[in-house]
Amino acid sequence: MIREVNADNYEEVVLKSRRPVIVDFYSTDCPPCNQLEPIYERLAETYGEYMDFIKIYRQGNREFAKSLGVTGSPTVLFYRDGKEVRERLNGYLTKPEVRKAIEQVIGFSIMDREPERVECDVLVLGGGPAGLTAALYASRAKLDTVVVDEGVTGGQAANTYYIENYPGTSGSIEGKTLMKNMREQAESFGAVIDDLKEIIEIKLTDTEKYVRTEDKIYFPKAVVLAMGAQPRKLPAENEDVFRGKGIHYCAICDGSMYEGKHVAVIGGGNSAIQETLYLSNIADKITIIHEFDNLQASKVLQDKVFNNPKVNFIWESHVTKAEGNEMLKRLFYKNLKTGEVSSIDVDGAFVYIGLSPKTDILNGQVEINQYGYVKTDEDLMTSVKGVFAAGDIRDKKVRQVATAVGDGATVGVNVERYLSGI
Ligand SMILES: Cc1cc2nc3c(=O)[nH]c(=O)nc-3n(C[C@H](O)[C@H](O)[C@H](O)COP(=O)(O)OP(=O)(O)OC[C@H]3O[C@@H](n4cnc5c(N)ncnc54)[C@H](O)[C@@H]3O)c2cc1C
């Protein structure tokens, strides 16, 4: 259970507790706080018997927060016997980061516990459009189906503001609504969703398959790889310094910070232009920096962006360096024809320069292509018998919600055929 406190009862609840305490100073309108919220709730369920989970609204307790040196949200503090212990955590936090900090404070790891053994027919790794569709088909075919996702389900599609090219949606649907519907539909046929779970070990051979998460070890008869892809990081000096502090990869998550400001969008494909159009409802000025002298986005999107008075362009250039203080202030870019380096003052930058597949946990156990995408046959089976791949993770040419869903349906049907020996 998470308890909300304020400046008046902080001493009583936090400093006088006999148990270790974790305190989250949060704010509203704060994308990293929104990211932390479900992670914090899940960790409270797991570790609540060993430590107190506390939240305090920073904006409502501003002076008190300042007196503790807390000036940003989220800031996570840890206490034992009334004294602050270990380093604070700030900014965009992942579940493994917070979990490791908690385990340092309580002195043991949940990973040391014996995992629960779970047998199932189909284990789907990744709950984006591909994974949820595979789960829908498999569970509807009465196969015992579990979806494990390292985050909350929905994938990249849930972070897309509006999707206008998914059939059957009267023209346009919010990405998060579409993905909520897909999850509910899969669950309605019996698929079990095990989200916010770290995968620790994975073994995939023709004869042996298991996947260990932080609290379970799954022994499935068939596995669907649907971990999708993630945005390629901007290959520029100081990207790591300003990631989340001016450099972003998701406009719908972080765009609201830039109301009335000047932002750069880096890239010129569909995602870059779609996100530019979204940002143009928030920012005052948008500069697209692109490596070619023309856009690769669809004609419809190009028409919209070229007619948008807030948008201007820097062509044939690569961003080489980011500069600022606490937050990003300037980008340096190099003209690829002349070699000339120039700079532009911006408040933020949104990067859409392609994707890289999330195949790291596979450790080469299935065949991948030179770019890291999983190779499949016509039935979308990988080089390992009973292991299928669907969606953006797969070696294919078009990566869209509709094609991910198509892959998911194909895999869902073929998994059933495989398991019944057809
Ligand atoms: C900015 C942007 C805009 C887009 N706009 C559109 C659009 O308008 N129309 C359209 O059709 N497509 C659009 N796309 C593309 C579309 O979102 C993707 O093609 C689609 O989401 C791919 O689905 P997927 O299920 O294969 O993968 P993803 O959506 O990437 O989902 C993968 C899931 O796997 C989980 N996962 C990752 N690694 C692990 C792991 N190790 N263990 C467990 N789980 C894991 C992730 O948390 C995620 O939930 C857009 C993409 C972006 C980035």
- Per-residue pLDDT tens digits for 297-338: 999 999 999 999 999 999 999 999 999 998 899 999 999 999
345 and 377 inside one domain: no
24 and 38 inside one domain: yes
Question: How many domains, the chain?
Answer: 3
Closest CA to 161 of 279, 310, 296: 279
User: Which domain-ending residue is among 112, 139, 158?
Assistant: 112
Give the CATH number, domain containing residue 79.
Answer: 3.40.30.10
Substitution candidate for ligand 1 out of 227, 388, 403 with most atoms within 8 A of CB: 227
The sign one gets for the Cα dihedral 130, 134, 137, 142 is: negative
Atom of ligand 1 nearest to the CA of 157: 17
Residue 67 Cα to ligand 1 middle (Å): 42
Substitution candidate for ligand 1 out of 265, 401, 407 with most atoms within 8 A of CB: 401
User: Which domain-ending residue is among 73, 89, 112?
Assistant: 112
Measured CA to CA, the distance from residue 161 to residue 176 in angstroms comes to: 8
Residue 326 Cα to ligand 1 middle (Å): 31
211 and 360 inside one domain: yes
Measured CA to CA, the distance from residue 186 to residue 143 in angstroms comes to: 12
Confidence of residue 422 (pLDDT cuts 50, 70, 90): low
Residue 127 Cα to ligand 1 middle (Å): 9
273 and 333 inside one domain: yes
393 and 339 inside one domain: no
128 and 99 inside one domain: no
Residue 102 Cα to ligand 1 middle (Å): 30
pLDDT digits (tens, 9 = 90+) for 13-56: 999 999 999 999 998 877 788 889 999 999 999 999 999 999 99
256 and 122 inside one domain: no
Contact by Cβ (8 Å): 198, 148: no
Measured CA to CA, the distance from residue 195 to residue 150 in angstroms comes to: 6
Alpha helices in 203-292, H assignment, sequence order: 239-242, 251-254, 270-279
370 and 226 inside one domain: yes
CA separation (Å) from 211 to 121, 148, 220, 267?
Answer: 13, 10, 8, 37
User: Which domain-ending residue is among 77, 93, 112?
Assistant: 112
Pocket residues for ligand 1 (CB within 6 Å)? 125-131, 148-151, 153-157, 160, 163, 165-166, 199, 226-229, 271, 274-275, 358, 361, 391-393, 399-402, 404
193 and 256 inside one domain: no
371 and 278 inside one domain: no
Substitution candidate for ligand 1 out of 160, 275, 277 with most atoms within 8 A of CB: 160
Closest CA to 129 of 87, 174, 181, 170: 181
Catalytic residues: 250, 253-254
The shares of helix, strand and coil residues in the chain, as percent rounded to the nearest 5, are: 30, 30, 40
pTM metric for this prediction: 0.85
Give the CATH number, domain containing residue 319.
Answer: 3.50.50.60
What are the φ/ψ torsions at residue 388 (nearest 5 degrees)?
-110, 160
What are the φ/ψ torsions at residue 209 (nearest 5 degrees)?
-140, 125
pLDDT digits (tens, 9 = 90+) for 234-258: 999 999 888 878 999 888 777 888 9
244 and 288 inside one domain: yes
387 and 413 inside one domain: yes
Provide the residue range defining the domain that includes 281: 239-351
Confidence of residue 94 (pLDDT cuts 50, 70, 90): confident
Count Cβ atoms below 10 Å from residue 240 Cβ, excluding itself.
12
